[in-house]
């Protein structure tokens, strides 16, 4: 198994190298993974934060061969280095931008948003864009078709659970995107954080099962309480999770309840106070 260490270039396959940014933390694990694809005409997937040391390390690896910078999504730990690299190398930016919800990197711009099913094809590799909304609406995974290696960004990360923050994050979309990935010939997952995951189908099914168990817990608690705000429900739904993580868990609870509302299982008070998520009340129909 490779070590996920900032600043060290790891050769993962014939075509793929990984460089980890020095932004490790609670939400980013060992740091954001930047992947370098190809040997002659290079593409980068997720250049990472606008961090001088990381950008210098990328430039050191790519030399004058960088042609494309792809981003899985535009969160601040994944895309801000893209604009800097484009300015320094002339590389073309590929990805999708969305309306800023307060969590997006506004420096990332594209001529045209990438579409589901589009390919970047060179003599060395083919990168297929797969739209995977859920973590955030503009999230794409990219498949190296020759190797079956899938760059999963924050759709699937190694070592912890992905945070789904409404309204740009959507639990129903997230689960549908996970199911959709089962249609592709994938040999391993290259996550945005953490090491390569060599058992893709087991990993994907494991995440789906984990989310469905949590959804069942949400319903169980709601059946006991009949109603509740996010603040009131979080400690019960996440009694197995350390209290220090409850503020983040509360966002996932919100996402679960919105999915259950979409499914017609729970009701939400009529006024959607997006800015005050913890004051939203959910209840079961009488």
Give contact residues for Zn ion (rule: CB under 5 A). Answer: 75, 154
Q: How far is the CB of 122 from Zn ion (least distance, A)?
A: 27
Instruction: Tokens 């997937």: give the residue.
Output: 45
CB burial class (10 A; 0-12, 13-18, 19+) of residue 197? buried
Query: By C-beta, is 75 or 214 nearer to Zn ion?
Result: 75
Least separation, in Å, of the C-beta of 123 and Zn ion?
32
Cβ-based nearer residue to Zn ion, 105 or 147? 105
The position carrying tokens 């094809």 is 121
Cβ nearer to Zn ion, comparing 47 with 228:
47
- Going by C-alpha positions, the residue among 241, 254, 163 that lies closest to residue 207 is 163
CA dist., res. 237 & res. 248, Å (int)? 13
CB of 89 or CB of 158, closer to Zn ion: 158
Instruction: State the pairing for strand pair 33-37/16-20.
Output: antiparallel
CA atoms 238, 242, 243, 249: torsion sign: negative
Q: What per-residue string of b and e applies to 138-177 under the rule 16 or more CB within 10 Å gives b?
A: bbbbbbbeebebbbbbbbbbbeeebbbbbebbbbbbbbeb
Measured distance CA(275)–CA(166) in Å, rounded: 10
Q: How far is the CB of 28 from Zn ion (least distance, A)?
A: 9
15 vs 18, beta carbon nearer Zn ion: 18
Rounded to a whole number of angstroms, the minimum distance from the CB of residue 155 to Zn ion is 9
| Nearest C-alpha neighbor of 10 from the set 28, 30, 29, 36 | 36
User: In the complex with Zn ion, which residue's Cβ is closer, 51 or 154?
Assistant: 154
CB of 141 to Zn ion, least distance (A): 13
Smallest separation (angstroms) from Zn ion to the CB of 137: 12
């Amino acid at each position: 198994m490779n070590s996920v260490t900032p600043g060290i270039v790891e050769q993962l396959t014939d075509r793929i190298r990984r460089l980890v940014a020095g932004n490790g933390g609670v939400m980013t694990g060992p740091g954001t993974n930047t992947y370098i694809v190809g040997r002659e005409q290079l593409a980068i997937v997720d250049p990472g934060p606008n961090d001088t040391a990381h950008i210098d390390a990328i430039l050191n690896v790519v030399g004058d061969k960088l042609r494309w910078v792809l981003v899985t999504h535009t969160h601040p730990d994944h895309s801000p280095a893209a604009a800097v690299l484009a300015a320094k190398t002339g590389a073309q930016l590929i990805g999708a931008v969305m309306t800023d919800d307060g969590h997006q990197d506004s420096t990332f711009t594209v001529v045209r948003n990438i579409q589901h099913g589009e390919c970047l094809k060179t003599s060395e590799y083919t990168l297929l864009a797969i739209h995977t909304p859920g973590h955030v609406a503009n999230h794409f995974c990219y498949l190296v078709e020759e190797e079956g290696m899938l760059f999963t960004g924050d759709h699937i990360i190694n070592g912890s659970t992905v945070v789904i923050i409404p309204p740009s994050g959507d639990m129903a979309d997230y689960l549908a995107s996970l199911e959709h990935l089962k249609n592709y010939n994938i040999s391993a997952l290259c996550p945005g954080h953490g090491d390569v995951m060599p058992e893709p189908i087991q990993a994907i099914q494991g995440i789906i099962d984990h989310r469905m168990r949590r959804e069942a817990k949400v319903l169980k608690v709601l059946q006991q309480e009949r109603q509740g705000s996010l603040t009131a429900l979080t400690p019960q739904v996440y009694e197995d999770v350390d209290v220090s993580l409850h503020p983040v868990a509360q966002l996932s609870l919100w996402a679960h309840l919105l999915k259950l509302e979409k499914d017609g299982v729970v009701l939400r008070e009529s006024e959607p106070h997006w800015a005050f998520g913890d004051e939203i009340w959910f209840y079961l129909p009488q």
